[in-house]
Amino acid sequence: MVSICRYNHVFTCWPSTPGTHPHRCPAASAWVSILVPTRNRLSFIIPSAICSTAFRPIPTGIAAGVTVPCPASPRWRRLLDIPARPPLPGCPPVTDFDPAVAAAELLTVRDFLRYGVSRFNAAGLVHGHGVTTAHDEAAFLVLETLKLPVDRLDPYLDARLTTPERKAVADIIDARVRTRKPAAYLTKRTYIQGVPFYVDERVIVPRSYIGELLFGDLFGGDGFTLVEDPTEVEHVLDLCTGSGCLAILAAQVFPNAKVDAVDLSAEALEVARINVADHGLEDRVTLFQGDLFAPLKGRKYDVIITNPPYVSDESMAELPPEYRHEPAMALAGGGVEGLDIVRKILKQAPKYLTPEGGLLCEFGTGREALDAMYPDGEFLWLETADSFGEVFWLTREQLTEL
Ligand SMILES: C[S@@+](CC[C@H](N)C(=O)[O-])C[C@H]1O[C@@H](n2cnc3c(N)ncnc32)[C@H](O)[C@@H]1O
pLDDT 10s digits, 362-380: 998 778 888 889 999 999 9
Q: Which of 50, 80, 110 is the last residue of a domain?
A: 80
- Residue 87 inside a domain? The answer is no
- Of 209, 193, 229, the C-alpha closest to 364 is 209
- Residue 107 inside a domain? The answer is yes
368/276 same-domain check: yes
Residue 218 has pLDDT above 60, yes or no: yes
Convert the pLDDT of each residue in 114-160 to its tens digit: 999 999 988 888 888 988 889 999 999 999 999 999 999 999 999 99
One-character DSSP codes across 165-184: HHHHHHHHHHHHHHH---HH
Region of poorest pLDDT, from 180-184, 247-251, 293-297, 383-387:
383-387
138/231 same-domain check: no
315, burial (CB in 10 Å: exposed 0-12, middle 13-18, buried 19+): buried
Q: Candidates 263, 296, 310, 340: which one to mutate for ligand 1, based on the most atoms within 8 Å of Cβ?
A: 263
How far is it, in rounded angstroms, from Cα 127 to Cα 80? Answer: 24
Q: Which of 80, 113, 131 is the last residue of a domain?
A: 80
pLDDT of amino acid 67: 30
Residue 199 has pLDDT above 80, yes or no: yes
How far is it, in rounded angstroms, from Cα 69 to Cα 65? Answer: 12
230 vs 36, higher pLDDT: 230
- Residue 196 inside a domain? The answer is no
18 vs 237, higher pLDDT: 237
How many residues in the chain? 402
- Residue 195 inside a domain? The answer is no
264/346 same-domain check: yes
114/29 same-domain check: no
- Of 266, 272, 242, 260, the C-alpha closest to 298 is 260
User: What value does the mean pLDDT take over residues 314-337?
Assistant: 87
- Residue 126 inside a domain? The answer is yes
Q: Are 375 and 48 in contact (CB under 8 A)?
A: no
Please state the domain count of the chain: 3
Does the CB atom of residue 208 touch ligand 1 within 6 A?
Answer: yes
SS3 call for 17: coil
- Residue 331 inside a domain? The answer is yes
250/386 same-domain check: yes
DSSP code at position 227: B
How far is it, in rounded angstroms, from Cα 219 to Cα 212? Answer: 11
Q: Give nearest CA residue, ligand 1 atom 24.
A: 330
362/385 same-domain check: yes
Residue 281 has pLDDT above 80, yes or no: yes
Q: Give nearest CA residue, ligand 1 atom 9.
A: 206
pLDDT of amino acid 334: 85
Model confidence band, residue 63 (pLDDT cutoffs 50, 70, 90): very low
Convert the pLDDT of each residue in 309-318 to its tens digit: 988 888 888 8
Model confidence band, residue 60 (pLDDT cutoffs 50, 70, 90): very low
Q: What is the mean pLDDT of the chain?
A: 80
Residue 14 has pLDDT above 90, yes or no: no
Does the CB atom of residue 296 touch ligand 1 within 6 A?
Answer: no
**CATH code, 143:** 1.10.8
Convert the pLDDT of each residue in 84-124 to its tens digit: 334 444 545 555 678 999 999 999 999 999 999 999 988 88
252/309 same-domain check: yes
303/395 same-domain check: yes
58/100 same-domain check: no
223/370 same-domain check: yes
- Of 205, 132, 214, the C-alpha closest to 382 is 214
- Residue 89 inside a domain? The answer is no
Residue 179 has pLDDT above 90, yes or no: yes
- Residue % of the chain over a pLDDT of 70: 76
245/148 same-domain check: no
Region of poorest pLDDT, from 67-76, 268-277, 311-320:
67-76
Convert the pLDDT of each residue in 30-54 to its tens digit: 233 333 333 333 333 332 222 332 2
Q: Which residues of 37-54 are buried (b: 16+ CB within 10 A; e: fewer)?
A: bbbbbbbbbbebebbeee
Q: Candidates 204, 245, 296: which one to mutate for ligand 1, based on the most atoms within 8 Å of Cβ?
A: 204
**CATH code, 221:** 3.40.50.150
- Residue 88 inside a domain? The answer is no
pLDDT of amino acid 93: 54
User: What value does the mean pLDDT take over residues 374-393?
Assistant: 89
Does the CB atom of residue 264 touch ligand 1 within 6 A?
Answer: yes
User: What value does the mean pLDDT take over residues 16-34?
Assistant: 30
Q: Which of 48, 80, 112 is the last residue of a domain?
A: 80
Region of poorest pLDDT, from 71-80, 219-228, 323-332, 371-380:
71-80
* Domain region containing 363: 204-400
238/374 same-domain check: yes
Q: Are 288 and 298 in contact (CB under 8 A)?
A: no
pLDDT of amino acid 123: 86
